[in-house]
């Protein structure tokens, strides 16, 4: 008997089920930003103001996100408050049932603007700090007076009764300040602090040598975070993201490529993750030409690394293949030069030792920053 003759034709094979609806969407409203942070993970080539989506298109995208099943939207940038139509967008997100989080640097936000944002119905505000004190914040952001402005915004956020998250991106210049960051969050009556080690994509990759902490600093920081989590349980939620360069296993980046979330760039490109444009061969569909639901299910970029079929043999045979989902494709691109390679953060990767060596070399490099500027 010919087994091939009895097999159904390819055209008769059942189509794979569509992916579940995404939980979250990062809406990068603009790349404009007053700060010049060297750890910025936005693309090296920022999108220009004249290419940004107009208000009407963003409102359509938010409506489509709600219908698709998105539960929460994060309004980000750059600096999202640079958009004069921000309040209109917030109100529309609320109207279509999206939990709405504003991610801001805070330096240009007046009390009047905050009240307008609150009146529009914002659910939550996430405020970035580059340091736990004025000297560090102002130096890292290259914005004199930034720290004082952020403190004023944080206090106004809580006075308005809005929940607050303190976002601290940590690296060699401020990793020793983690206890002070936690105390700052408590003093500002924040419900949550996100301690996120710099992730080396986009502009941050240029500054890796000036940002990378030592292995000893990273593991000391982890111990501090775990102790604080236990001590402050029920009072302050502490989330932490460690640098992959010192990891044994890769993190499940975005909880798996194209599984739970999507990003929309200022010009309308829809990305499976924040740094996906560092992978040169991917075809990113745009909301100007495609509906969000069609992009989620049919975009070549989303389907490129979705699931496990794309994985190299080493990953496909691994017991963790549906735990870490192959790790970070952008990191594989940055270190291995191949987005389909095993993530070098994994100790099974042939490039794992090379990645660790890069970290150990960078951790003793000079501290001079190549500051990011929106030109």
273 is in an annotated binding site: no
Calpha distance 110→84 (Å, rounded): 13
User: What sign results for the dihedral spanned by CA atoms 80, 153, 262, 69?
Assistant: negative
Radius of gyration of the chain (CA): 21
Angstrom distances, CA of residue 43 to CA of 48, 187, 254 = 12, 34, 18
Residue 261 phi, psi dihedral angles, 5° rounding: -155, 165
Q: Which residues neighbour 298 within 8 Å (Cβ) at sequence distance 6 or greater?
A: 285
CA–centroid distance for 143 within its chain: 23
Label the pairing between strands 261-264 and 192-197: unpaired
33 is in an annotated binding site: yes
Label the pairing between strands 99-104 and 124-129: parallel
Calpha distance 199→209 (Å, rounded): 13
Q: Which residues neighbour 367 within 8 Å (Cβ) at sequence distance 6 or greater?
A: 172, 173, 210
Identify the three-state secondary structure at position 261: strand
93 is in an annotated binding site: no
Angstrom distances, CA of residue 76 to CA of 28, 62, 79, 319, 326 = 5, 14, 6, 36, 27
Q: Which residues neighbour 314 within 8 Å (Cβ) at sequence distance 6 or greater?
A: 342, 348, 349
**Known binding site for [4Fe-4S] cluster: residues?**
33, 37, 40
**Known binding site: residues?**
33, 37, 40
């Amino acid at each position: 008997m010919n087994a091939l003759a009895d097999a159904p034709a390819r055209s008769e094979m059942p189509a794979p089920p569509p992916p579940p609806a995404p939980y979250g969407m990062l809406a990068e409203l603009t790349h404009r930003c007053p700060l010049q942070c060297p750890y910025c993970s936005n693309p090296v080539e920022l999108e220009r103001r004249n290419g940004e989506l107009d208000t009407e298109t963003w409102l359509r995208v938010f409506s489509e996100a709600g219908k698709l099943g998105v539960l929460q939207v994060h309004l980000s940038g750059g600096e999202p408050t640079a958009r004069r139509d921000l309040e209109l967008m917030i109100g529309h997100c609320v109207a279509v049932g999206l939990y709405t989080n504003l991610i801001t640097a805070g330096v240009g936000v007046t009390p009047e603007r905050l009240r307008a944002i609150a009146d529009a119905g914002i659910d939550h505000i996430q405020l970035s700090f580059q340091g736990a004190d004025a000297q560090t914040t102002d130096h890292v952001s290259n914005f004199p007076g930034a720290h004082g402005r952020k403190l004023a915004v944080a206090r106004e956020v809580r006075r308005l009764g809005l929940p607050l998250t303190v976002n601290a991106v940590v690296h060699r210049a401020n990793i020793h300040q983690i206890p002070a960051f936690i105390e700052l969050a408590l003093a500002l009556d924040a419900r949550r602090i996100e301690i996120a080690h710099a992730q080396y994509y986009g502009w941050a990759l240029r500054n890796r040598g000036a940002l990378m902490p030592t292995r000893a600093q990273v593991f000391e920081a982890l111990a501090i975070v775990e102790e604080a989590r236990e001590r402050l349980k029920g009072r302050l939620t502490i989330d932490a993201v460690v640098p992959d360069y010192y990891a044994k296993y890769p993190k499940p980046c975005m909880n798996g490529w194209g599984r739970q979330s999507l990003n929309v760039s200022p010009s309308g490109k829809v990305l499976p993750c924040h740094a996906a444009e560092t992978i040169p061969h991917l075809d990113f569909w745009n909301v100007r030409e495609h509906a969000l639901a069609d992009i989620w299910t049919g975009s070549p970029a989303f389907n490129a690394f979705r699931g496990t079929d794309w994985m190299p043999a080493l990953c496909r045979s691994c017991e963790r293949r549906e735990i870490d989902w192959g790790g970070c494709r952008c990191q594989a691109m940055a270190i291995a030069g191949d987005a389909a390679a095993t993530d070098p953060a994994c100790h099974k990767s042939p490039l794992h030792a090379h990645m660790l060596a890069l970290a150990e070399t960078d951790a003793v490099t000079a501290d001079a920053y190549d500051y990011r500027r929106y030109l």
